[in-house]
Amino acid sequence: MLRCGLRISEVSKLKLRDLYLSERPSRLQLLGKNSKERAVYLSAQVEKAVRSYLEVRPPTPNTPALFLTYQNTRLGVRSIQKRLAKYRDQAGVMLTPHQLRHNFANDLILADVPIASIQKLMGHEWIATTELYISANSAKVKKDFYRGKTRP
């Protein structure tokens, strides 16, 4: 969710066939909100984590889901929420699945990725929706302000 900007429901619905690890760059092809198809590119860190997971993922010919429960069934939204809650409690931080998605957008803005590209990566129909994710990014505003101050 953090490095791909995925919604929790999108993570839950991922299937093995959605992975394109042999392509460069590697990617996911998924159906997002309102059944909109989009490509999500995997960073080297995410690709490594997915490959490591696939090495230990049990073979399940009748379950096409990428992420599985201990009973080898699709990992649902509620299960993902519970696992994230457990990890955040262990780390002593307050974190929601949707905050991971916001952080994804903010990281891209700080890297000067164009907002239209962020819109596509996040699967937003309207650019105004993407702007809501990044409008409160004071670090970017500060950077832009000082960049402008150095110009005559």
Just list the catalytic residues.
Answer: 7, 33, 98, 101, 124, 133
What does the block give as tokens for 65? Answer: 């889901």
Length of the chain equals 152
Task: State the residue for tokens 């159906």.
Answer: 31
Which alpha helices (H) appear in 14-126, and where do they start and end?
A: 44-56, 77-91, 97-110, 115-122
Quote the tokens at residue 74: 């699709």
Query: Would you call 19 helix, strand, or coil by DSSP?
Result: strand
